[in-house]
Structure 1
């Protein structure tokens, strides 16, 4: 989930390149920032004189070529980084809320019911994000930027007033999820428009806000709740989110007034995809891995407290260690994928993640659990970063890349929605001889490992089928 956002990078690049290549003026445009800003800030870029034999008319809605740098471009990166701290920071840190809700605020609710709040938030982020891409193409970025940030801050502030399950669900699950979805894809797309050769670097900086936000919000939550209570903690976090939004908005809007002009939006559905065996295998692979991927992030802190008897603070810092592992894993596996092939690296990490998931069953010491958490974050990070890089290898028509990836991602997002609640329903509680209540996490652990290994089998079949069909070698 934490970096689900990486799946859309290739789709965004394909869409942006398609827009750029459709305009014959672009062949004569310079990459210099001054030329780009003239097209963005000025009333209209003067048309370039066409060759006599070229009857193609220029597209008035096409964008000039990206400058790959300059003040406005890097302001977009900084603004996107701040936005991702908010939209993914609260989503990826939900494990801290899960533990607090189970033990205090919503102690009358089951772990499965509580986990629905976080999974609905993540699911809306992804599904609304898929839909917000075409809205961005139609020129509604400014409206989505204001509405998305408003909904996030409103959700946090309303959460500070919540005392019942349905109130928490509406504030954190629905309101914050909708707001994050409106900002998810447009923030990446905007950065992609300003960068070409440095696009991977720029998008990597933006998406690093995911881990930064998760770590910062977890630490703030841990330090503030014992001293000022949950309501005021959420208000403080709400003001932090508001400050980040106030800084991000002018950065993202600087030099981008021309984005209000509509461009051709990509299609949301391609029925021919369901006749493509590689597309079906790819979707099955992501669906099964997503069923188990998100589970430890939700239950690591709860396991540390309930089974290992750690303090609440220690449990949250173990979750922070897991997120730190995912940050470094995302960087390393991206490099490995460039050398060995995206699908090979993806398959290897899925197998190792499944084994690590099953190893959770035998952990009964705090030090071992810390090692498990770091390893889980390190290896599982690739399960949401590499699929987007691997998808172009199985897409027969790159002009449909964005549409098909959006379809596959939309289907797989359902797994993110139901995975943690199913695992929560497998939790068993019993009363020990000393009268204390114990929680048995065996069902959660088996579910995690089984889903990852099932996904590995699907991935292996996809890999072999792709090699056989394309005949381009094993390292793909």
Structure 2
């Protein structure tokens, strides 16, 4: 098996004295986004010891250049197809379960499957990020491919509620989490000036999955059976996850095994108020972010659309997300990660309420689905890019994991809260209007917190390019 990182010795590539090499790299504009948080570069203790010579040697391979960075981006594209792409079609499964296998259960109860899936996908970063920093991405991509494929295949055999929870909500989510965090860490090391674009390209894989998987599921389930449809989904996810295993490597050599110090690795970053505010913003946004993904199809059915048309709405939503992820990634390299993140969070809330709230016709619901996909796609694309922007490069995997573990509780609570607001228990008619207000308000609140984070990062200059 090939090594899963790319390392350059001090004698390679740059035959110059250390001081000259260090001066060139420190003055380079490419390194500016990586140095917003400087505490790691200045820290040397018994746990993390990195010499300047090693750092200079690794920086000798200029980011953004050559085939290797874009292979890492391809790995990220495939990983997000398997992680958030699979998560993005939870609305298809939610609606199908409500009308087939789990018809006797309330929407709120069924939503715990998707809620647990999103929670584990996010919370897994607490462990996956640190593993990737210590050992490299392949320690995650290989088991991630196996667990994801196993979980989806087992979903095809499920008949009871607890079986869906274990297979779809736990097993496949663990695999998806490993794939996502491995590629996020790898991409960060390979890109600097074009990092926003790289994350946008990677994040578009989730939209591609969200577009293709509903059509595959609908076409096979209507002509054959639920089990065969899920097996077809499993085949697609295996192909993309295996591609992730093959193409993903890291520019930064793994640091190796280190003592596990929870407070040092996971709590120390929160002493930085910017980091703490960004995490709080994401946690609030995640309370409502996946609500339209889960309920746009069932809301459409309640407004008279056919089940097939409702499934297609999930694809329209993800088509908009594809454009939003790419666009936000490209624009963020020009006007700043904070700026784009704030805008897309506010736009997501605005689409949920009042526009989704006021939509009841088929045309209106389709427009809302595409618009929300565009805005929420920007949020999901900017989330890892923004954390990388405010973190030291050698701690990015760990810090993305720390943030993800915090926001996972928002993801866990969001769908059950929305399901409870919708109602529909004991034969009552579901009411989606209050749920739409809830989703819009929490996401706009998250954008306000992000404004405070930017103000803290820029010394009060909220219109600065940052």
Smaller-chain TM-score bracket: 0.7 to 0.9
CA distance in 2, matches of 1:452, 1:137: 31
CA distance in 1, matches of 2:397, 2:136: 19
CA deviations on 1:132-187 (whole Å, 9 max, x unpaired) are 22222333644433221111111111111100100011000110011112221212
CA distance in 2, matches of 1:270, 1:150: 28
Q: 2:221 aligns with which of 207, 220, 225?
A: 225
Report deviation, 1:70: 5.8
Gaps of 5+ in 2: 17-50
Name the counterpart of 1:123: 119
| 1:450 aligns to 2:441 (yes or no) | yes
Gaps of 5+ in 1: 1-15, 31-55
Name the counterpart of 1:301: 297
Residues 409 and 188 of structure 1: CA distance in aligned 2, closer, same or farther (over 3 Å): closer
- Tell me the SS of whatever aligns to 2:317: helix
Q: 1:212 aligns with which of 199, 208, 221?
A: 208
Aligned residues: 424
Q: 1:462 aligns with which of 453, 456, 460?
A: 453
Q: 2:14 aligns with which of 28, 41, 46?
A: 28
Name the counterpart of 1:156: 152
| 1:139 aligns to 2:135 (yes or no) | yes
Residues 361 and 58 of structure 1: CA distance in aligned 2, closer, same or farther (over 3 Å): closer
Q: 1:262 aligns with which of 221, 238, 256?
A: 256
Give 1:4-403 correspondences, 5 Å limit: 24-25=10-11, 28=14, 65=61, 75-139=71-135, 141-193=137-189, 201-252=197-248, 262=256, 269-306=265-302, 308-359=303-354, 360-391=356-387, 403=398
- Tell me the SS of whatever aligns to 1:121: helix
Report deviation, 1:334: 3.1
Q: 2:411 aligns with which of 416, 422, 433?
A: 416
Report deviation, 1:101: 0.7
CA deviations on 1:328-359 (whole Å, 9 max, x unpaired) are 12222334434443333333333333222222
- Tell me which moved more, 226-235 or 121-130: 121-130
Q: Is the 8 A contact 1:73 1:194 kept in 2?
A: yes
- Tell me which moved more, 284-293 or 350-359: 350-359
Report deviation, 1:129: 3.0
Q: Is the 8 A contact 1:267 1:403 kept in 2?
A: no
Q: Is the 8 A contact 2:277 2:450 kept in 1?
A: yes
- Tell me the SS of whatever aligns to 1:310: coil
Q: Is the 8 A contact 1:29 1:65 kept in 2?
A: no
Question: TM (normalized to structure 2)?
Answer: 0.78
Report deviation, 1:446: 1.7
Report deviation, 1:93: 1.1
- Tell me which moved more, 231-240 or 320-329: 231-240
CA distance in 1, matches of 2:389, 2:138: 34
CA distance in 2, matches of 1:279, 1:196: 20
Name the counterpart of 1:440: 431
